Amino acid sequence: MRIVGIRRDGGPVEVASLSDDGAKATVVAGLDEFWADATGLLSRVPDGPTVAVADAQLVPPVLPGARVICIGLNYLKHVAEGSFRDLDLPLYPSLFARWTASLTVGGTPIPVPANEEGIDWEGEVMAYVGSTLVDATPEQALAGVVGYSTFNDVTSRRAQKLTSQWILGKNGDSSGPLGPMVPSVEVGDLRDGLRVRTRVNGELVQDGSTAEMVYLVGDTLSLISHTFTLRPGDLLATGTPAGVGYARTPPWLLHPGDEVEVEVERLGTLRNPVVANDHRLIPTVRSGQ
């Protein structure tokens, strides 16, 4: 099952299941209704109307109020290739936040901000929380993950490095494309190793495995849940393997006309074109109402 968000005729966002060929989507529930019982709804055959994807707008199946929490430096080889190579690996993960307004879907053009020489790729796996987590153990937290998707944590490196906080460089317009969500029961344990690959204009630039993660999904969600309550619909971006552009000699960044592709085993392939800043569109506020 591949879960997406759709909007029909400018109406509210609905959650739908894609057909095998991706041409049709069968409505599962409204956005709020889905996240109120994601596990239960995913265990049943969708029985809502089926629509042609060409006649609908694909959007992330994400609540406007969801928290998007991201792990930085979660693969040892990625730590070793960047500007943090001389630092000791911290006991706890470095976490930063994205706003839902930065999220988009495959096929959406990603603009290069006006003050950036280019933008960088970071192929990742996104985890979706499906139940309320308060002071959860790692085992409870992992059991609360309802699905995973391919994610590209596209980064504005100049903005990221202006200060010690990364939020500015991680929230460019349309800079967080998500693939369809696949239920966790179909994905299995990331510790077993899903291959994560990124290509730029067809050339392989990242090739890693989720088995290389330093900070595990269950451990990280457990840690977070001891400070604030995680709710159904919250997201955790799990970090990127080695091979990012800024760490290369010379640096290699994405420019208008490029296409970036992230492929994750069992989760699918996510493709987005890169465009100039003058193609930037004001993000539309999504609502489940």
Q: What CATH number should be reported for the domain holding residue 224?
A: 3.90.850.10
Residues 91 and 3 in one domain: no
pLDDT tier, 73 (very low <50, low <70, confident <90, very high otherwise): confident
Report which residue type is found at 5.
Answer: G
Which residue in 166, 200, 151, 174 sits closest to 277, CA to CA? Answer: 174
In-domain check, residue 161: yes
What is the domain extent for residue 103?
A: 62-279
Q: What is the mean pLDDT of the chain?
A: 93
> In the predicted model, what is the mean pLDDT of residues 176-183?
98
Residues 8 and 138 in one domain: no
How many structural domains is the chain composed of?
A: 2
- Residues ≥6 apart with Cβ < 8 Å to 120: 154, 155, 156, 157, 244, 245, 246, 253, 254
In-domain check, residue 261: yes
Residues 23 and 97 in one domain: no
In-domain check, residue 286: no
Residues 261 and 191 in one domain: yes
pLDDT tier, 273 (very low <50, low <70, confident <90, very high otherwise): very high
Q: How many CB atoms lie within 10 A of CB 69?
A: 21
Residues 220 and 196 in one domain: yes
Per-residue pLDDT tens for 36-62?
A: 999 999 999 999 999 999 999 999 999
Residues 38 and 94 in one domain: no
Residues 16 and 84 in one domain: no
In-domain check, residue 289: no
Residues 133 and 217 in one domain: yes
pLDDT tier, 87 (very low <50, low <70, confident <90, very high otherwise): low
Per-residue pLDDT tens for 112-151?
A: 999 999 999 999 999 999 999 999 999 999 999 999 999 9
* Phi, psi angle pair for 244, to nearest 5°: -70, 160
Whether the predicted pLDDT of 282 surpasses 70: no
- Say whether pTM exceeds 0.85: yes
Whether the predicted pLDDT of 29 surpasses 70: yes
In-domain check, residue 159: yes
> In the predicted model, what is the mean pLDDT of residues 194-212?
97
What does the pLDDT read at residue 289? 38
